[in-house]
Amino acid sequence: MASVTGKRTPFIAGNWKMNLDHLQSIAFVQKLAWSLKDARHTFETVEVAVFPPFTDLRSVQTLVSADKYELKFGGQDVSAFDSGAYTGEISGAFLKALDCQYVIIGHSERRTLHNETDELIAAKVAAALKHGLVPVLCVGETAEDLEKHGPSAVPVAQLKAALAGVTVGADIVVAYEPVWAIGSGQAATPEQAEQVAAQLRLALVELIGQEAADATRILYGGSVKSSNIAGFMRQTNVDGALVGGASLDLAEFSSIVQFQKHVGT
């Protein structure tokens, strides 16, 4: 949520997807922490999180805790259920027990490849909040949606469906990820991202109230690189990025985190 000053703290998050095993995750997180330390990065100024595969989380937790890194981490998905006969699922309680602070919910790859519906995503958001995790709720339109319905209709509808049951003041992060921009190398323009982010924030006012809507970080995701991050971060309603491919490249991700050094470029 917002910092005490009422300003939203920028948030740069790396979604590793199904990349880096637990040994590779240790090496990567260590190098990232060193790189940001060398650059004198302050985590109060720009919050940073990584979202490794489930099998890496224990290793990342152990490292972060032992070396007192300020880096946050979370899961890439969560079960709608607490426990029981749900083979292959991971409970929010388990993520919380590993010190996860965040969990990605409703990523377009899960909506598409795992047929996740708005109802299931809403149940997962509720489960995350119940277990004290901050959902990073992903919404976004396909190229076809964009042509048929314009830029913000589908993301706003997805947001409303996912948050229908949450209470006023809920602590969430929203990631606007146009499906056509994910992994395509063709990012949205900063103006396109801002247009949709502004609509999402308006919808948030109705869903969680003005104060929480003002405090909610809205991220842009889809082919974010060190060369285009500054443009997104200049937008009023864009508060950070959910980075896929470039989050696996140490120099790139580190540079994205330090976007404030190149906002003028």
When asked if residue 244 is in the footprint of ligand 13P (CB under 6 A), the reply is: yes
* Span near ligand 13P by CB under 6 A; candidates 55-63, 146-154, 200-208, 243-251: 243-251
- Sole binder of ligand 13P in the list 222, 231, 233, 253 (CB under 6 A): 222
Residue closer to ligand 13P, measured from CB, 94 or 232: 232
Nearest approach in angstroms of CB 65 to ligand 13P is 25
Nearer to ligand 13P, 15 or 91 (CB): 15
Residue nearest to ligand 13P as judged by C-beta position:
244
Using CA atoms, how far residue 3 sits from 6, 14, 219, in Å, is: 5, 21, 16
Instruction: Give the per-residue SS3 of 198-262.
Output: HHHHHHHHHHHCHHHHHHCEEEEECCCCCCCHHHHHCCCCCCEEEECHHHHCHHHHHHHHCHHHC
Residue 193 engages ligand 13P in binding (rule: CB under 6 A): no
Which residue type sits at 253? F
Q: Rule CB under 6 A: is residue 79 a binding residue for ligand 13P? A: no
Give catalytic residue positions: 107, 177
How deeply is 168 buried, as exposed, middle or buried, from its count of CB atoms within 10 A (0-12, 13-18, 19+)?
exposed
Question: Out of 46, 129, 133, 182, which residue is the one contacting ligand 13P (CB under 6 A)?
Answer: 182
Spatial neighbors of 184 by CB under 8 A, at least 6 apart, are 222, 223
Question: Where on the chain is the footprint of ligand 13P (CB under 6 A)?
Answer: 15, 107, 177, 182-183, 221-224, 242-246
